[in-house]
Structure 1
């Protein structure tokens, strides 16, 4: 009997060690409306580079019911069904519906989470959305509880909402994930970390956006020390390593320098950098835009991250080397895996070399 128990323990340990790590690929479906080489649709997705495909975004109405934010794209163009169809390329792929996001705000989610009737509307509409479309689960991206119009009760109400979702999903085997703010100041304000961790399959930690032009100076979007501090904080507060998914941004935060001759990290800036040809948003450049810019690029060893500049334009971003550093840290901490925000800003066309350089680097470190 003793030998049998030892054998079972070894087999169980082997299963833990060999379990495939998560590579969660967020897809901002609105990139379909971008022009030229920035246009992105399902034909641009390599399903074998992802264990999860997170279809972004759905929203909610004032009653708590989940709703499409672009019915023409989701249903008339058939983007949802095409996303589900990627399972023909990768039978192990999980396709998740993502609800929330920055533009959805927090107020409606705060109201829904704190009202039993609205929570039931949310849960029932989630079940309908998943069942009717063939999704494998839900990713709730509430940005953020107890912030942006929320209140202190959001913290406990979020736990209640996740517990009720978990119970409702269990009979169907649906997965439940969340996307969360990373740093201690944000996370400590918004989450009962140990309690939410018990309710979900995995936690996508958004370990980026650590510096913005509103800071008045240039800074790194995702410096290594900041992501390590963030993950270590989540671990210290009771989040198990095997549920934490490390976020990688396939984009950079850009700045307009106050003085082009002062082009180092921490130099004064007068605002956001110029909009990119594809993404079209000031202060934000996709890696597929950055890699074609041919700006002067420096890899900062202290932050394990690159930056680039040209004239009065300055951008901090991730490249293959910095992503390798991040994945080595994820492996050292035995995290569940990594996620990328988002597919459509990696160099998915291979205009600067091999297609999907950042996503491939994640896979090379975690899966291959």
Structure 2
């Protein structure tokens, strides 16, 4: 009986440890404006599939203060209140405000981080944003320090910014996350990795976008070897495993083949693939678009990732199997968890099967075993 009790306690403790792993769900709120079955709002979110909901994006004013990029959606439609209101369903859910993103770029971030007054404006406005709206923390998505209009001083200034935010957040228990470029070439240019790791709650590593049509050939968006190399680099530079969150792209990068008969990985391409019906951007297809296409699909074992093609259209993406591979690696490295970019491009309506197949595959590995 004592032995049985000990086993049960151990099992419960093991489940508790697994349940603490992060599943950070980024949400591009602009998907509200998509048409038809691409439209996505708060009602489409299952708050039990995420430990963190990252509300994207807020911007930065010239004086360093944080600003809403869509006040009508954020406040008039009440998206922020509705997002924070999901905590009434799942009291353990953390809702974060995300500042930055690709379109925000680097210039304003760089100017703010390098100026004491602007940093204080940023921090004070962050505190006001979190307090006034019920957010649980902040996520900084600076793409990227020392690039895209930034400068070398960004590396040290980013550390200073994070340290000052951490100190300001401490009395309130707010979380501080960052989203970072993944590969060694990008990361070594932009970050003092061991220094920034000291000041953040977790680090979302954007382990995707490893191939683009601008390369002139088809390639995998997130091949397993590139994901592993990136995470191993961050670990080797002093980022603790228990702060690293592995990124999963719920979308594919698409290409227009130069010759439709040459449809293999590495085949020549003449540009981006055609825009999807929902996402509307060339070179980019949500998983919810890809799974409906019924293209010929191949799972490439060398890259642990699928690709699909039809005529001169070619796309590399993640499916349930490749996501499982990534989660096995995250578990093997004892990482903090996984994040997804982004909720509104999973098959959230379940048109190809069950709803949220990729997000559920992550949870099955990290939290529900």
Q: TM-score range by the shorter chain?
A: over 0.9
Q: Which runs of 5+ in 1 are unaligned?
A: 1-9
| Whole-angstrom distance in 2 between the partners of 1:68 and 1:93 | 22
User: Tell me, what secondary structure is at the counterpart of 1:291?
Assistant: helix
Q: Report the equivalent of 2:36.
A: 36
| Whole-angstrom distance in 1 between the partners of 2:50 and 2:271 | 35
TM-score by structure 1 length? 0.96
Q: Once the 2 structures are TM-superposed, how far is the Cα of residue 227 of structure 1 from its aligned partner?
A: 0.2
| Whole-angstrom distance in 2 between the partners of 1:360 and 1:69 | 30
Q: Report the equivalent of 1:219.
A: 219
Q: Which runs of 5+ in 2 are unaligned?
A: 1-9
Moved over 4 A (4+): 13-19
User: Tell me, what secondary structure is at the counterpart of 2:318?
Assistant: coil
| 1:12-58 CA-partner distances (Å, limit 9, x unpaired) | x9799456100000000000000000000000000000000000000
| 1:88-135 CA-partner distances (Å, limit 9, x unpaired) | 111100000000000001011000000000000000000000000000
Distance 1:216 1:18, change over 3 A: closer
Q: Report the equivalent of 1:51.
A: 51
- Does the 8 Å contact 2:18/2:366 carry over to 1? no
Q: Report whether the alignment pairs 1:146 with 2:149.
A: no
Q: Report the equivalent of 2:242.
A: 242
| 1:301-339 CA-partner distances (Å, limit 9, x unpaired) | 000000000000000000000000000000000000000
Q: Report whether the alignment pairs 1:266 with 2:266.
A: yes
| Whole-angstrom distance in 2 between the partners of 1:163 and 1:18 | 29
Q: Report the equivalent of 2:81.
A: 81
Distance 1:121 1:15, change over 3 A: farther
User: Tell me, what secondary structure is at the counterpart of 1:23?
Assistant: strand
Q: Report the equivalent of 1:4.
A: none
User: Tell me, what secondary structure is at the counterpart of 2:98?
Assistant: strand
Q: Report the equivalent of 1:337.
A: 337
User: Tell me, what secondary structure is at the counterpart of 1:48?
Assistant: coil
User: Tell me, what secondary structure is at the counterpart of 2:48?
Assistant: helix
Q: Report whether the alignment pairs 1:285 with 2:255.
A: no
RMSD value over aligned CA atoms?
Answer: 1.2
| Whole-angstrom distance in 2 between the partners of 1:18 and 1:24 | 15
Q: Report the equivalent of 1:309.
A: 309
- Does the 8 Å contact 2:19/2:366 carry over to 1? no
Q: Report the equivalent of 2:5.
A: none
User: Tell me, what secondary structure is at the counterpart of 1:180?
Assistant: strand
| Whole-angstrom distance in 1 between the partners of 2:95 and 2:24 | 10
Q: Report whether the alignment pairs 1:208 with 2:215.
A: no
| Whole-angstrom distance in 1 between the partners of 2:240 and 2:364 | 24
User: Tell me, what secondary structure is at the counterpart of 1:102?
Assistant: coil
Q: Once the 2 structures are TM-superposed, how far is the Cα of residue 340 of structure 1 from its aligned partner?
A: 0.4
